[in-house]
Structure 1
């Protein structure tokens, strides 16, 4: 099973000095780094029409051209993992991902991922880059994701993400009481000292998060966040940057805090909450074939509903 692919991208000035394979992996982010390297060596991914080496430096302005035949990725095995399918047609698959499920195989999670699950559900996705996955959720973030079932659908969805026309809204429960909503417009990149973390940094990529208050508690706030961009850990980083880190976010929340006078039960729930309190609640995009906007919603999972209930009771008891 195979499909033919043609794409063109121009290398932006921000990538000056990068290796060709690094720049190509960012510009064609729906392909694995290994596949990018292989295409460069085969000469099907060219630089200004000529074959180059993966280690060659880029200077900005060059044209990357990809003409390749996509073969199935044999290293990814289909696995029978339950999926909550919200919508499916010939072009797209919309899934409500549970917390704890890794999206894509990596060194620490070679299998048991969402990708392995969708390959079992739709074996034809083996010929699509990353099995049709065009965006990710962190392992411990729940909620809606769209998977492309054809190469044309994947191209359309990637272009929509780049054009910022995909609408993504999240529920988050943060530490601290917000007085009002707002917008965080702050670039995000790799943390200069801790490679596991992202950070607001001048050298990062543009990142914009809009947020509004859904409900206030004594020491916490339920907020709705809408993404304009989709950087790694974007909501987690932006909320921490505004000094409202997410409950349960061990990477960005800092020192454990509870409101004064909180019950022992609430203290335990806040201390033991097993993941960042973040859920992708709404997803809207233009259907790749029909050209109409379609929208999906996913109710809050039980753990977040329970968390909100306890925060609500605490606020009412001490009002």
Structure 2
């Protein structure tokens, strides 16, 4: 059922000479410029009761009248999924997404996605574009995602993402011994030959910046904490492969598994058969769309990555003990 949005606002004198869409964006900041323009063109947002064009100039003193129905935004069907809700209020949902769950329906995954589960969990999300999803995680990346429950919340989150004020930090298990933290500043675009992959490009890529620091070192692997300054597709995976430290289990960028010398059969098997990229969205920080309060959430490393880390710690301890005996 559509929700009717009603709003009446007088244009202040200070906005005299402004375009209608510019003035509307300032006076009705809870909705995006594109949405306001569509309402103007559709006659839902009028000036003194008359239809107008987005570029029409205002004199000040006019009455803007908004009467818009928030219609369902897609034809996806709700499906009951076991969602791990970390936080919820009237504006936001924060989900701890498991590995293996696709975020949005596509040709190869028409249903059974996070979006389908969100529509079942919160039917009102049918009136928000993409069911409130404002950023994505790869299918086999686990961890935190924020979902907007209202159009104003979506507008706020999109603006924060564009302004790069949303903090997203990931735990990543990389191949190779990394001595210290650093930054990868290398543009990313679609791979020239393999269209399923992304790549660092000398020309035509979009700005991409990843900061990383070492959390824990093992003999031939390193647990990293990565922070995104930008949000390109596969960014951490591409950047770590670019510096020759691809993520464990990454089917696109990982290459052959690297095994510690004389690794136990259990560790060798775990590294060779790890079924996904070892990447987890561990921390999310943003400003609440309504209160402007800074909010932060954390999600612990999931069981599959935790077990692999335990085996790597055992391997490092065994190697250290053996080295000690030989002194």
Shorter-chain TM-score above 0.5: yes
Q: CA deviation at 1:256?
A: 2.8
Alpha-carbon contact 2:278-2:305 (below 8 Å) kept: yes
Q: CA deviation at 1:7?
A: 7.9
Change (3 A) 1:205 1:288: same
- 2:198 corresponds to which residue? 198
Report the count of equivalent residues: 271
Matched, 1:229 2:241: no
Q: CA deviation at 1:258?
A: 1.1
- 2:308 corresponds to which residue? 307
- 2:260 corresponds to which residue? 259
Asked which structure has the greater CA Rg, the reply is 2
- 1:116 corresponds to which residue? 116
- 1:54 corresponds to which residue? none
Q: CA deviation at 1:264?
A: 1.3
Q: CA deviation at 1:49?
A: 6.2
1:63-74 correspondence runs (5 A): 70-74=70-74
- 2:218 corresponds to which residue? 217
Distance (Å, rounded) in 2 between the aligned partners of 1:3 and 1:203: 43
1:34-45 correspondence runs (5 A): none
Deviations 1:71-129 (A, max 9, x none): 21352001000110000000000000000000000000000000001101110100100
Deviations 1:116-171 (A, max 9, x none): 01101110100100000000000000000000000000000000000000000000
1:146-165 correspondence runs (5 A): 146-165=146-165
Q: CA deviation at 1:257?
A: 2.1
What CA RMSD, in Å, does the superposition of the two structures yield over aligned residues? 2.4
Q: CA deviation at 1:220?
A: 0.2
Alpha-carbon contact 2:21-2:54 (below 8 Å) kept: no
Change (3 A) 1:273 1:3: farther
Alpha-carbon contact 1:85-1:93 (below 8 Å) kept: yes
Q: CA deviation at 1:261?
A: 1.2
User: What is the TM-score of this pair, normalised by structure 2?
Assistant: 0.78
Deviations 1:10-50 (A, max 9, x none): xxxxxxxxxxxxxxxxxx9x99xxxxxxx8xxx76xxx969
Distance (Å, rounded) in 2 between the aligned partners of 1:185 and 1:227: 11
Deviations 1:201-249 (A, max 9, x none): 1311111100000000000000000001110000000100111000000
Distance (Å, rounded) in 1 between the aligned partners of 2:310 and 2:4: 50
- 2:144 corresponds to which residue? 144
Alpha-carbon contact 2:249-2:257 (below 8 Å) kept: no
- 1:58 corresponds to which residue? none
User: What is the TM-score of this pair, normalised by structure 1?
Assistant: 0.80
Indicate the SS of the match to 2:295: strand
Change (3 A) 1:176 1:7: farther
Structure 2: which 5+ residue stretches go unaligned? 6-19, 23-31, 43-52, 56-67, 321-327
- 1:129 corresponds to which residue? 129
Change (3 A) 1:3 1:234: farther
Distance (Å, rounded) in 1 between the aligned partners of 2:191 and 2:127: 34
Indicate the SS of the match to 1:315: helix
- 2:46 corresponds to which residue? none
Indicate the SS of the match to 2:189: strand
Distance (Å, rounded) in 2 between the aligned partners of 1:7 and 1:248: 49
Matched, 1:290 2:276: no
Alpha-carbon contact 1:3-1:151 (below 8 Å) kept: no
Runs of 4+ residues deviating >4 angstroms:
none
Structure 1: which 5+ residue stretches go unaligned? 9-27, 32-38, 51-67
Distance (Å, rounded) in 1 between the aligned partners of 2:199 and 2:4: 38
